Chain A
Amino acid sequence: MNLLNIISKIEELDVEAADKYSFYSRRNLIKFGQKALTAAAVPTLFAATANQAFAQAGPSQAAIDVLNFALTLEYLEDEYYRLALNTANLIPAADRTVIAQISKHEVAHVVLLRGALGAAAVAKPTFKFGDSFSTYQKFLGLAQALEDTGVRAYKGQAGALINDKSILQVALQIHSVEARHAAQVRRMNGAKGWIGTAGNAPAAVYAGEEATMQATIDLVALTGKSAAAVAEAFDEPLTKAQVLAIAGTYIA
């Protein structure tokens, strides 16, 4: 599947999304105009990536499993932000731009992964978010947990994609977007953008993030920096089982 097909599929599947894209594309044009040199290479790069990723002869079963796992998480995030944006008086006007930008990406991730998987794509589960939309603080709390879990989930699957190089690259490109989201949501939630202390999310979301050893190197001893700084400097993975245990709370 090439880039044009993906875009037309996005438009087929989600008319609302197409509207959003055309809205954003106008702004995009302005930005690209200002930064023509750096931005010019991007569409070409992506076209190459998408072609390699999705037109390749056959992804391994391991890669299909990872993509479906990722799709499940993206369904979860997509629905969470979609419902939140549609809940009256939940998101303050000043924060809607940020939440809408995140939502836009989660929509795109779902479409991208479903497109990549085709008939192999898992169905969207039914989700339950409890009282997460009762206050903005509760909404932000779960948003933070979902984003940080998403980062950890993709990170934990990278190794399984080492033989599917093009899919690995796309997964990494989603992974860093989730990290951007996580940092922004964390700060709106009153936390630092990086993971040092758990905040108000379930403990399982941050299990192991306090690590200060990397590749058998004790980084506190090596650098003289605090354990918190060292823990912040490296994000830790979660296994698929750990992630599904967290996500399962929100699957009906």
Chain B
Amino acid sequence: MPGGLEPVAVGRRLFLRYSGAFVAGGALLAACKNEENPITVSPSPTMVDLGSGDIGILNYAYALEQLEAAFYTQVMTTPYSGMSDAERTILTDIRDHEIIHREFFKAAIPAANRIADLTPNFSAINFADRTSVLNTAKTFEDLGVSAYNGAGNLLKDVNLLLLAGKIVSVEARHAAVIRDLLNPKSADFAGDDVVTPANGLDVVRKPVQVLPAAQPFVRNTISGANLPTV
């Protein structure tokens, strides 16, 4: 896979499951055969449509949780050199939380409306390098927080709003801890780059801003074209 740093175990499993279920393209299947060489992604990558209404927002969250779960699974499958015991505990905890989130959405979204398993693209991440891993973790967590913050008022069902609230604060906890690993005992856990000093508000992003930021980490093309915007 590209760069040789692809999360082989997870990426390939997800990839095979996905392609097995939906794609019979020779180029895609052939690409799986050699883990050492870059995958040739189909020139028209499989589109994933998140759908509309509350279900669309659930799929949106499910997509982000799939991405996070795959990332931390790879982090703990190939730990970076020099990972401390404390970091190992933290990153294992976060991996488990993200897997639980992913499985929750998978179980909660009706199968007929649920998006497929996504194929991550982590080729830009150096999993052997602490800084690369933690900076990516920071990006994912901050993006997740801003995404949930922006999705709350797109939901119609008050019960789903509460569920999203139960998850977003855990993502914010992750973000703070990862940021503190990168720069201990600094202001970065809730840094001025994410919490506007003048009003104390965290970043908020709507799907139209989140999806382009997440897209480089996913091989499927994700479409939020049918998501609610108000």
Contact = CB atoms under 8 A, between A and B. Distances in A.
Interface string A172-184: 1111111111111
A31 interface: yes
B188 to A, nearest CB: 9
Contacts of A43: 196
Given A159-B161, A169-B153, A177-B190, A234 B166 contact: yes
Contacts, number: 226
B229 to A, nearest CB: 12
Contact of B149 (A38, A100, A169): A169
Contacts of A222: 103-104, 107
A19 B51 CA distance: 48
Contacts of B161: 158-159, 162
A225 B93 CA distance: 10
Interface in B75-120: 90, 93, 96-97, 99-101, 103-104, 107-108
Contacts of A237: 162, 165-166
Contacts of B201: 46, 49, 112, 170, 173-174, 177
A116 to B, nearest CB: 10
B131 interface: no
Interface stretch (A22-30, A58-66, A132-140): A22-30
Contacts of A128: none
A189 to B, nearest CB: 13
B56 to A, nearest CB: 17
Interface string B147-159: 0111011010011
A182 B173 contact: yes
A25 B192 CA distance: 8
Given A194-B174, A235-B166, 13 more contacts: A21-B198, A31-B191, A41-B209, A45-B204, A184-B176, A187-B180, A214-B166, A223-B99, A233-B170, A234-B166, A234-B167, A237-B165, A237-B166
20 contacts: A7-B198, A101-B191, A108-B197, A151-B169, A155-B169, A162-B161, A173-B202, A173-B203, A175-B165, A176-B145, A177-B190, A180-B189, A180-B190, A184-B189, A187-B180, A214-B166, A232-B170, A233-B96, A233-B100, A237-B162
Interface of B: 90, 93, 96-97, 99-101, 103-104, 107-108, 145, 148-150, 152-153, 155, 158-159, 161-163, 165-177, 180, 185-187, 189-193, 195-205, 209, 230
